[in-house]
A and B are shown apart, each in its own frame.
Chain A
Amino acid sequence: MSNHYYNAADLAKFGNIGEFQKELADKFFAWYGTAFADSALTAKEKSLIALAVAHAVQCPYCIDAYSSDAYEKGYSEAQMMEAVHIAAAIKGGAALVHGVQMMNKVKGISM
């Protein structure tokens, strides 16, 4: 066991999760592949969505993978940063909109 939680080399070992539960891993990777294929959205568009979500869920493996993938597929640095801003805006907005809940509560208990 390493003395840190994240190791860049582990990204390449993602496929090994089947060692402990093959059937579910096979189903996951098959579904994953289909989900990312060209369909109603292009694979390129899906890559940018994945990049934004990777930042929202703050997954270093996903950020590594989809920074490369989105750039390889042709997105510019500015486009990729705008996608990250959208993730940040939604995350920030999600926190802030709960301010209404806070206001409701405070108004409910105050005179």
Chain B
Amino acid sequence: MKSLQATGNKLADTEVQLGILEVGMDGTYQPIPFQEQLLQHGLYPLKPTHISTLQVNVGKMCNQVCKHCHVDAGPDRKEIMTVETMQACLAALDHNPLISIVDLTGGAPEMNPNFRWFVEEIKKRKRHIIVRCNLTIIVANKKYNDLPQFYKEHGVEVVSSLPFYSKERTNKQRGDGVFEDSITALRMLNEVGYGVEGSELKLNLVYNPAGAFLPPDQQTLEADFKKALYTDFGIVFNELFAITNMPISRYLDYLLQTGNYDRYMERLTNAFNPAAATNVMCRSIISVGWDGYLYDCDFNQILNLKVSSGEKHISQWNQSQLNNREIVINQHCYGCAAGSGSSCGGAVT
């Protein structure tokens, strides 16, 4: 399997994606505009509450090609953050002490050749670091086998995707052999203390539905995951984050190819929850793209919807402008506001 970009899929063009989100494939589907929903609940324009997290996408290269990936990541993606852009991120941290969390994502962020240097520099600045690790990277190559130890030494919080506690459902979404490699990697993380009771090393898992449906109740699912992973494999972890798949990029392609798009959007719009919309993550984070441009979230980044403030690049960070900006919204935002809500930290209500 290759990325949408490598196969010349029309959805690699973000304008095409935005067009489909607005009116569907044949131009006739018209869900209620997200902006109208926010207006009805007194939430428009959506404004930041504060900026506590800098989420940095250090590149689109990945060792996996998952069917639902909103980044359209894969081995054929060569977009990688440079050291100069990383230095601009560090400078932004130096000037903004209220940013307490740096959330590193990709692709597989570990495949950026300067990843470890970047983690060390962030650590020197005493920020809490989250790495979104796909697990299989740890066993993909010998040079990555020591990642659990590296994470431990730098007190990194590891957030790892594991779509399900069964091999069948996980491999359907992420490819053959991913479940088995993920279990091996989780054991390696447990061995150095991650997720273990009494340890300060946090290991959180991410659940994405492997199909055209919404996540179930996060708390119930976490209990199921804990029971199954411990019983079957002796694996322990801290929390499970249930994340809704956004109807963009490769997941949008899946929805369209399987004839599930209209019904999925209908489910998202019917499940609109004003409480979830109030707590959306874009109100407290800034997302940095591999090339240094700024976005309200990782999803807007993929749709090339830059922040609305005048300065749009990490090298021109303007805290005042960013604090007062209007958050850019579109129809995909229903994904974060449906049901219990969804964020990089799971449900928001």
Residues on A lying within 8 angstroms of B by beta carbon are: 12, 38, 42-44, 68, 71-74, 76-77
Contact = CB atoms under 8 A, between A and B. Distances in A.
Contacts of B221: 74
Nearest to B270: A12
Contacts of B169: 76
Interface of A is mostly: helix
Contact of A43 (B164, B214, B220): B220
Contact of B168 (A38, A44, A76): A76
A44 B166 CA distance: 17
Interface string B205-235: 0000101011111001100100000000000
8 contacts: A12-B270, A43-B217, A43-B220, A44-B216, A68-B213, A72-B215, A74-B216, A74-B221
Given A12-B270, A43-B217, A72-B216, 12 more contacts: A42-B220, A44-B220, A44-B224, A71-B211, A72-B209, A72-B213, A72-B214, A74-B164, A74-B224, A76-B168, A76-B169, A77-B168
B211, B217, B266 pick with most chain A CB within 10 angstroms: B217
Nearest to B169: A76
Contacts of A73: 216, 220
Contacts of A71: 211, 213
Nearest to B216: A73
Contacts of A43: 217, 220
Nearest to B228: A74
In the A-B complex, the 9 residue pairs with the closest CB atoms: A72-B213, A73-B216, A72-B216, A74-B224, A68-B213, A76-B166, A44-B220, A74-B221, A74-B216
